Amino acid sequence: MSLKIVVLAKQVPDTRNVGKDAMTPEGTVNRAALPAIFNPEDLNALEQALRLKDQHPGSTVTILTMGPPRATDVIREGLFRGADDGVLLTDRAFAGADTLATSYALSQAIKKIGMPDIVIGGRQAIDGDTAQVGPQVAQKLDLNQVTYVTTIESVTDGVITLVRTIDGGIERVQAPLPILLTVNGNAAPCRPRNAKLVMKYKRALAPMERPADGTLPYAEEYDKKPYLNVTQWSVADVDGDLAQCGLAGSPTKVKAVQNIVFKAKESKRLTAADAEIEGLMKELLESHTIG
């Protein structure tokens, strides 16, 4: 049985390797110092999708991402590793979306792609760590759902068997398709790029990535090789309700943001002298900090 698989992927700032220059002296995030990367757990999800494709000939893997035009990097990266095609959801009206508005946009796009057998994404994105978008998409599409997946054992006769991580252990579960899965970081890492696929797709572009002045290099290739034209959809293309998209469609609002700077606290300096240690312990006991 061939499977129709959609991989949800996100381009994120690399918050894992936060170096000293990640924060400006004013305490704001220095975005320039954080490269944009393929969200790590989405790569684990892509690998699971590609494995299913290997096992079930005729299956298709479509990368779906929402973001600015440069997020097409994520689609290209997916194509280099074996995905069949990709869709970039991009529109100013999508900007400022919280997880709920994001899940609305993604679910509208999935409807337009055509109902897949499996929607799969990373457990969470490293810039928000919310783990919400996957289950929210599943609910909107009324799909079954299994989160924190580590291994897909089999897909047979429309039933998927898999292992997932739970608090303090593991669970083996079985569920009918169609289903949405979110994949944990401890699942198999993604296979590397395939050199042939890199050659094939390296010039793949979304329409909005094309130079505005019409000076597109190798312009004739895009007519001859339609796979170089990455599908790009706007709110209107996915039949989106503007009231449910972007900032307007987001029930959560950011009231305030406070930057954390490693500002030197005013520390009390003590020596190891008996009187000083005794003084400290007394102070902590009196304030009920300990004891």
Sites for other proteins among residues 186-245 (CB under 8 A): none
Considering only 11, 44, 62, 103, the residue that binds other proteins (CB under 8 A) is 103
Judged by CB under 8 A, does residue 150 bind other proteins?
no
Token pair in block for residue 172: 């083996």
Residue 118 · residue 177 · CB < 8 Å = yes
Number of other CB atoms surrounding residue 244 within 10 Å: 17
Shortest Cβ 139–other proteins spacing (Å): 4
Using CB under 8 A as the binding rule, whether residue 157 contacts other proteins is answered as no
Cβ proximity to other proteins: between 219 and 261 the closer is 261
**CA distances (Å), origin 114, targets 101, 111, 141, 234:** 20, 5, 11, 17
Distance CA 233, CA 83 (A): 19
DSSP bridge partners of 89? 66, 233
Looking at the DSSP bridge assignments, the partners of residue 8 are: 64, 121
Return the number of the residue (83 or 137) whose C-beta is nearest other proteins: 137
What CA–CA distance (Å, rounded) separates 197 from 4?
20
Q: Closer to other proteins at the Cβ: 90 or 136?
A: 136
Spatial contact of 230 and 204, defined as CB atoms under 8 Å apart: yes
Token output for 134: 């996957």
- From candidates 111, 172, 239, 241, binder to other proteins by CB under 8 A: 172
With contacts defined by CB under 8 A, name the span among 66-74, 132-140, 200-208, 232-240 that binds other proteins. 132-140
Closer to other proteins by Cβ: residue 64 or 149 = 149
Q: Which member of 95, 173, 219, 242 binds other proteins (CB under 8 A)?
A: 173
Report 251-270 residues binding other proteins (CB under 8 A): 251-260, 262, 264-265, 267-270
- Per DSSP bridges, beta strands 118-122 and 144-156 are unpaired
* Stretch 79-98: interaction string toward other proteins, x if CB under 8 A: -------------------x
How many CB atoms within 10 Å of residue 164?
21
Closest distance of CB 106 from other proteins, Å: 11
Stretch touching other proteins by CB under 8 A, among 48-56, 122-130, 186-194, 228-236 = 122-130
